[in-house]
Structure 1
Amino acid sequence: MIRKILLGILLIIMFKIASCVYIKPYQWKLAYVNRYNKELNIMMNVRNIKITRHYDTGGNTGYDIEWIRTKKFENDIVKPEEYDTWYENEIPLNIHLLGENNYVGEKLIYDKSKGNHFEKIEEYIEKHKEEIFKGMLGETWENGINIRFYTLILHKLDDNKYVWYNDIHEIKDNILREVKNENFDSDLFYKERDLKEKEFFKTKIKYEDIDWGKYIEYMEDYPVLVMEIEYKVLHSEEENEMYKEDYHIYSSDFNILSSSSKLSEIGIRRINTRQKIYKDVEKFYNKVTFTFVIRDLSDPE
């Protein structure tokens, strides 16, 4: 009798474990792809998505979502914009937008039919790597390791104005800067954008068959690339006994134009370095399709 009771308890425990590890995650994935099919007409393979329950030491719970079994983003010099992968409650229908980012970094910037020759930009970067490191890192330029870019997807508004997240930005001299507009209703903008996206996907389509070039044109998106530098930081044994080398990413984000923040000589040199690079490579791509920017983090004036 005791053996049967213990066996029953063991089976219950095993069922609960199996439910947490296999059954519930599959149910979450199935519900998610069904939402895509019903609400956005995009058909996804449930095996290509992984959803797990999220717990952390702060007591927060939610869901983690990621793509699996799909073609990885393969570009050493350009990486896609990072999206949130953790959600507290219902997961929004936005994971498909990773496809747009991958298209930009792997196809659009190399598309000769659109006037883009990113391989020539790569050659330029490699040829001028030492000069770029000196301009960006100064006396520590020899610690430079790599030069690369990450993508952002802006949404065209009008008159050289773009929406990124919930704010309006403009691009001037390759500087992407937020501008004040108290009349802008971001909630209304994204509601209208959602309706426009549903119109684009009015006919059911497999995720793999989406034409991202047409999507970008229809949705009036504008990709931009932001340069960043990977460099090595050396530590003395007195500073840190655990390691002597550390690796950092130096981004090109600055408080550039803020009246409350005066740029140092080094800051000005770094801006000028990037602006020169962007000017030199203009002949290798079509600015109608994408461009390069320096992000200004100043408060809008």
Structure 2
Amino acid sequence: MTPTIQVDGLRKWYGDTHAVDGVSFEVERGEFFGILGPNGAGKTTLLEIVEGLRKPDAGQVSLLGMRPWPRNARLLPRIGVQLQATSFFERLTAREQIRTFASLYGIPAPHADRMLEVVGLADKADTRTEKLSGGQVQRLSIACALVHGPEVVFLDEPTAALDPQARRNLWDLLREINAEGRTVVLTTHYMDEAELLCDRVAIMDNGRILRSGAPAALVRGLDAPTRIGVETGTVPLDGARELFPDAEVTDDGVSLIVSTRDPASVLSTLAERNALRGLAVRGASLEDVFLDLTGREYRA
């Protein structure tokens, strides 16, 4: 089966800045694909090129078997786009907003109204958008992107600036969208989000894709120690360092942490000494992979 999205050698320059620098990847039909990267990595520029909103300087893009640039009118009914910055018409209610979007595709008003139910906004239908919360605005934005039943949905950092509850509610909605068979492409810098939602991810920085694959496979490929924590005082710090000479042992006053590549031996030794109070075991995560590839320097 032909991939839904094929990107080959894509480049975009702004003066001396290489926003997208030789990017290649594929997205299969029905896949939930994540593009991860720090601020300024080139995620939004890449997505806009694939969507047909921006012209590439080099390389090729195929979306549903067609070229998205120059702006391809045949693609518009088949894709849904939720941009990083959402703007709605002023002084319109949620119902009026989504009916306006639906009318652009010839979708009847009753179907548009049902989309408000799908995203959990039926009780806010008569509320002006400026009165909606951040999470509700994001849900409305996604509803507008879905109202015409697109095959491919592009979401550019849809949970940015949302509180934890709103983020998790939105995750449930995104899972449902993907479960319907739609291909979803998501950009984010939240690693927990990508790890939970995405079938595969591409980690991007400085305009390039550094690594791609299933989140679990990327984590397994990272040579990182397991962190085993027990309550401070369960084992004296000096004693723990003698017990585990090949591990890194620290104590922050709350937990004694043993970072080891032989977790079975450490856990067995702690169990023999009845020293498992407050036990917590943490392996590597997608965040560790991300930091290993992109570094820990703060990006404004």
Q: Tell whether the structures are fold-level matches, with TM greater than 0.5.
A: no
TM-score of the superposed pair, with normalisation by structure 1: 0.23
TM-score of the superposed pair, with normalisation by structure 2: 0.23
Q: Which has the higher helix share?
A: 1
